Structure 1
């Protein structure tokens, strides 16, 4: 099996070019890519797995406040940003892939109620890597995770964000191969 490489290769990019290309992997948080670049990049970070790990290290080393800001940078699922067309391209594609753009009015209302209950309980949005899930599985996860304690849910949200980042990098490697 051949290891897929990211194009352009992260290790070969100047700081600004790296941040332009990979700064959006973590939603509205280019500081993560900037810190990863500052550490130095080599061929190990030219693969989706390698770059995902380097980016992950920056998030995991960040303060709890910075991690909460990262979580809060994510939109509500099937929320006002989605309805208003204000999602990033990645978020729009991911939510559409899970069928969230095809919810019935009743399902949108349920998402809205769960989003509000979740925000009221945890003070940040519900984050889940939706790729491979449908809206029914997402709604079930909402219900389950509302039973968590805040610290457990903060850690779960960060793990889901790492999964989203890894999937986005893998998607970019696939897209660059097909060009």
Structure 2
């Protein structure tokens, strides 16, 4: 883990290298957050990542959502996503559970135009499936906001894993 002092001492390039992946395949979030340095604390760093997302236009936020992988997919994932999904048991699904995730992923993407996003750290596959089932029926605007909240939870967990309090 690195200290907030070390984060603040990084060059912009080093900052992007260290944090450009916390918002899935969207280093622009780290570039925007970098402009707010120095950070008073790890919590301030997290808040500036969220501010970067909230300040972005809708197209950029939609692209961020679309950059996330389907849950329980067999596709190649980032190292962080692989670890997080394995921690939730998504790498050990039964054939029936995998079929259910596949069906929900398809229905969700058809309805909303982006993948289902859930910060899986600390969750079980059953909790994720329950949320998936409930959220696939949401209003489009409610779900867009819910997905952004989940993205913020994901990068919070990732930053907390890298930066000491």
Q: Give the TM bin, normalised by the shorter chain.
A: over 0.9
Note if 1:71 corresponds to 2:65.
yes
Match of 1:166 in 2: 156
In the alignment, the residues of structure 2 paired with residue 13 and residue 36 of structure 1 have an alpha-carbon distance, to the nearest angstrom, of 13
Match of 1:41 in 2: 37
In the alignment, the residues of structure 2 paired with residue 155 and residue 9 of structure 1 have an alpha-carbon distance, to the nearest angstrom, of 33
Give the alignment partner of residue 88 of structure 1, picking from 71, 78, 91.
78
Q: Which 5+ residue runs of structure 2 have no aligned equivalent?
A: none
**SS at 2:91 equivalent:** helix
Give the alignment partner of residue 130 of structure 2, picking from 125, 132, 140.
140
**SS at 1:80 equivalent:** coil
How many residues are treated as equivalent by the alignment? 165
Higher RCO structure, 1 or 2 (CA under 8 Å, sep 6+) = 2
Return the TM-score normalized by structure 1. 0.87
Match of 1:50 in 2: 44
Q: Which 5+ residue runs of structure 1 have no aligned equivalent?
A: none
Shift of 1:42: 1.2
Return the TM-score normalized by structure 2. 0.94
Match of 2:11 in 1: 14
RMSD: 1.7
Shift of 1:40: 3.5
In the alignment, the residues of structure 2 paired with residue 40 and residue 110 of structure 1 have an alpha-carbon distance, to the nearest angstrom, of 42
